[in-house]
Amino acid sequence: MTSNVKVRALVIVGVILICVYGIIGLPTSKQELIDNWNKNIRLGLDLKGGSQLTLQVQLQDAFKAQADQVILRLKEALQKAGVPFADMGRNDPQSIADADKIQIDIKGVPSTQAGTFRQIVQENFSNEWILTPVNSTDYRMTMQPTAALKLKDDTLTQSIQTIDKKINALGLSETSVQKRGGSANEAEIMVQLPGVDDPAHVKQLLKTQAVLELDEVKAGPFSSREEARASTGGILPLDEKIVPTQPRGGVPSEFYIVSRTPVITGRDLRDARPQRGQMGGWETAFVVAQGDASRRFEQFTGSHIGKQLAIVLDNFVMSAPSIKGKIADNGVIEGLSSHEEAADLALNLRAGSLPAGVEVLQEWTVGPSLGSDSIKEGMAAGVAGVIAVIAVMLVYYKRSGINATLALILNAIILIAALSYFGATLTLPGIAGVILTIGMAVDSNVLIFERIREELRAGKAVVAAVDAGFKKAFLTIIDTHVTTVVSCAILFLFGTGPVQGFAVTLVIGLIANVFTAVFVSRTIFDWELGMQKKAVTLSI
């Protein structure tokens, strides 16, 4: 063996070791080997079963909420400064594309007060809103483009974080919550839930806003909204609102008048857990965070003993217990029907509320049995195909067929290892990439062997024929491979998920193929020819 071949052989052994390590690590037992394999070979949802949801964040919700807040603050500020106005309201954008067209209309500000009005708006909202006069008494506020962009971004990021928290709290493994690529307007989030074949529960969780408020009860309960309003003389004070209880099991809603400003909200909670209720049934216990919130809670309960506190969830009064004594930091939400409901509520409270609603655009569920069926059948077919290919190669090219087979197997090992190192997942389209890789790997070997045969037929000596064969086939191999890599690069840039998966797998396979078909195969030939002392022959 010449030193050149030795060096090349070392390189090949090195590559094999690195690849095998990437696939199975350094197992000490059979179980560990299987575990490492399962850990490193990540199968896509279409192969192992699971659900994928594409959610669209209704950004306009966040814009409307922001505008509502501005209206509330502006009303307060104007009242304080004694500036009268006839009407104040916002428009109602319906789609994501219209979200940043949000506007607030203020009507009937006396022209004598125009200066004060402008100053108040300028002082409080000029960072985010632009004020334009419509006529001498009416004004319109629109959102600054930069502020709108920031609000969109923040809403999306916060939605992703909240959804992530909710899903993590379910205790599922390997879930992923990601922003989906695409135009900025789309606001889409992709949620992958391996092993979940019933996403109804997850969708329910995501749709629940879980906005919790603990409000002071001003009056109630009343049997109807009208009765509640009548109790205050027909006009509800500005800082109060009417909230119904949730109708349950045939019992109709009751109505409470509660304070508009909550004592504490869901954001002030530190923890929430489901537990058994004292009277049977289930309830969710919560703990208020230390500091400002718990001080506020303690102070309020201390000064309102004997009065009622309304626990309001998503604008429904869950219960309105009487305050028996000073409470520092804990409470319970009663009246839940099952462990599941209590657990879901606790989960939602822990994760926090979504800044905007979400719509399910796409859902895609593969049951575990279908996934494993696909793998079984696909694997069986793949193995049958590869065995047939190897058999034909061995018959057709005799000993050199072994050469091709080794190159083919090494190619597969490198491909799997690379997928493992890159943390890529193997999906059905990815398998399409693998199949094309195998096809091109076979092709490379065939090209080389046919060339060598041609050279031998033309009367060249074995060593020279091998050399010429490799050299001539190399140009063709480079051309076919580079062309395919070019197309893969474009597919990756412009394609979506599955198309990208195909492109990545194929590029890895092609690079591995140039290495195995040209470098490895050549080394084996050289080694074989180098072993023979005299009268060099080749079985091809």
Positions in 314-343 near another protein (CB under 8 A):
338-340
Told to check if 471 binds another protein by CB under 8 A, we report: no
Report yes or no: 300 and 288 within 8 Å, Cβ to Cβ. no
Alpha-carbon Rg for the chain in angstroms: 35
Amino acid identity, position 236:
L
Pick between residue 120 and residue 172 the one whose CB is nearest to another protein: 172
Q: 136-156 burial by CB neighbour count: b if 16+ within 10 A, else e?
A: ebebbbebbeebbeebbeebb
Pick between residue 174 and residue 377 the one whose CB is nearest to another protein: 377
Minimum distance, C-beta of residue 66 to another protein, in the bound complex (Å): 24
Pick between residue 424 and residue 491 the one whose CB is nearest to another protein: 491
Return the residues of window 147-206 that contact another protein according to CB under 8 A.
171, 182, 196-198, 200-201
Told to check if 284 binds another protein by CB under 8 A, we report: no
Stated length of the chain: 540
Pick between residue 154 and residue 479 the one whose CB is nearest to another protein: 479
Q: How far apart are CA 419 and CA 168, in angstroms?
A: 26
Pick between residue 438 and residue 520 the one whose CB is nearest to another protein: 438
Report yes or no: 22 and 39 within 8 Å, Cβ to Cβ. no
Binding mask 200-219 for another protein (x = CB under 8 A): xx------------------
Told to check if 247 binds another protein by CB under 8 A, we report: no
Told to check if 305 binds another protein by CB under 8 A, we report: no
In this structure, the dihedral spanned by the alpha carbons of residues 451, 456, 462 and 465, taken in order and rounded to 10 degrees, is -40
Of residues 40, 267, 55, 43, the one with CA closest to residue 167: 55
- Residues near another protein (CB under 8 A), total: 83
Return the residues of window 409-438 that contact another protein according to CB under 8 A.
428-429, 432-433, 435-436, 438
| Stretch of residues binding another protein (CB under 8 A), selected from 113-121, 213-221, 253-261, 468-476 | 468-476
Phi (first) and psi of residue 218, to 5 degrees: -90, -40
Q: Phi/psi class of residue 258: alpha, beta or left (left: φ > 0; alpha: ψ in -120 to 50)?
A: beta
Lookup: tokens for 372: 């494993």
Helix axes 428-457, 368-397, angle to 10 degrees: 0
Minimum distance, C-beta of residue 171 to another protein, in the bound complex (Å): 8
Told to check if 476 binds another protein by CB under 8 A, we report: yes
Minimum distance, C-beta of residue 60 to another protein, in the bound complex (Å): 15
Binding mask 52-71 for another protein (x = CB under 8 A): --x-x---------------
Told to check if 456 binds another protein by CB under 8 A, we report: no
Report yes or no: 389 and 442 within 8 Å, Cβ to Cβ. yes
Return the residues of window 383-402 that contact another protein according to CB under 8 A.
384-386, 388-389, 392-393, 395-396, 398
Burial of residue 450 (number of CB atoms within 10 Å: 0-12, 13-18, 19+):
middle
Minimum distance, C-beta of residue 501 to another protein, in the bound complex (Å): 8
Lookup: tokens for 396: 């057709």
Lookup: tokens for 434: 């693998």
Told to check if 496 binds another protein by CB under 8 A, we report: yes
Single residue of 10, 34, 81, 482 touching another protein by CB under 8 A:
482
Single residue of 156, 442, 517, 520 touching another protein by CB under 8 A:
442
Strands 42-43 and 425-426: parallel
